[in-house]
């Protein structure tokens, strides 16, 4: 499991955490419902203590490739042991991994800048991390047919730790 960037930011004494990951993308055209990356996304520090939790407040998708393809971020309490997710291949979540799913966040209303686009989705998604962990794991899935550069998307989760 790896991402090219995984940076958690939290102000001293604050209950908010901002976690940014940059998945490694395939550079060929995708088909709707494909996984956008091969390795699980790891959102570290999503709880104050192992087994703790919080409430996800938002997902910001920064699209530096200006593709504006809608998608879904699937979130789990554990690494995906049995799920097949290969960049630019159909996402097939295995039943055993589905048991660790805490939910998903749909994104797709983009705002266009001159060179990029961004989509902000506000949510209220409560979660608990696994008993021995402070991490959440994710898989991003496209609902469109974008063509990305290898590091053209950034996913930014904001959560209120409990």
What pLDDT, on a 0 to 100 scale, did the predictor assign at position 2? 43
Average pLDDT in the chain: 92
| pLDDT over 50 at 4, yes or no | no
> Is residue 4 a part of any domain in this protein?
no
> Is residue 20 a part of any domain in this protein?
no
> Is residue 75 a part of any domain in this protein?
yes
Return the closest-CA partner of residue 137 out of 6, 13, 27.
6
d(CA 61, CA 123): 14
Work out how many domains the chain is built from and give that number. Answer: 1
For 50-101, write each residue's pLDDT tens digit: 999 999 999 999 999 999 999 999 999 999 999 888 999 999 999 999 999 9
d(CA 26, CA 90): 13
**Is there a contact between 30 and 142 (Cβ–Cβ < 8 Å)?**
yes
| pLDDT over 60 at 5, yes or no | no
Average pLDDT over residues 22-48: 96
Average pLDDT over residues 3-31: 80
> Is residue 18 a part of any domain in this protein?
no
> Is residue 67 a part of any domain in this protein?
yes
| pLDDT over 50 at 151, yes or no | yes
d(CA 56, CA 5): 20
For residue 121, give both structure tokens. 């989705």
Return the closest-CA partner of residue 94 out of 113, 108, 110, 74.
74
> Is residue 6 a part of any domain in this protein?
no
pTM (predicted TM-score): 0.92
- For residue 98, give the H/E element and its range: helix 95-98
Q: Percent of the chain at pLDDT above 70?
A: 92
Q: Percent of the chain at pLDDT above 90?
A: 86
> Is residue 1 a part of any domain in this protein?
no
Least confident of 6-20, 56-70, 76-90, 133-147: 6-20
> Is residue 5 a part of any domain in this protein?
no
Beta strands in 22-152, from DSSP E residues, in sequence order: 41-43, 53-63, 71-76, 101-107, 110-112, 117-128, 136-142
Average pLDDT over residues 99-124: 96
Burial (CB < 10 A; 0-12, 13-18, 19+), residue 129, is buried
What pLDDT, on a 0 to 100 scale, did the predictor assign at position 13? 64
* 59 alpha-carbon distance from chain centroid: 8
Domain region containing 97:
31-161
């Amino acid at each position: 499991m790896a991402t090219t960037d995984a940076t958690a930011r939290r102000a001293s004494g604050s209950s908010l955490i901002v976690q940014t990951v940059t998945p490694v993308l395939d550079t060929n055209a995708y088909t709707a419902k494909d996984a956008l990356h091969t390795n699980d996304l790891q959102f570290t520090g999503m709880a104050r203590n192992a087994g703790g939790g919080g409430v996800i407040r938002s997902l910001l998708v920064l699209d530096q490739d200006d593709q504006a393809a809608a998608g879904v971020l699937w979130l789990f309490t554990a690494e995906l042991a049995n799920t097949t997710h290969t960049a630019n291949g159909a996402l097939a979540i295995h039943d055993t991994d589905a048991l660790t799913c805490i939910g998903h966040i749909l994104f797709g209303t983009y705002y266009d800048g001159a060179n990029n686009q961004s989509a902000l989705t506000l949510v209220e998604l409560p979660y608990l991390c696994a008993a021995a962990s402070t991490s959440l794991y994710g898989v991003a899935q496209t609902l469109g047919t974008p063509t990305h550069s290898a590091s053209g998307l950034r996913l930014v989760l904001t959560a209120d730790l409990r």
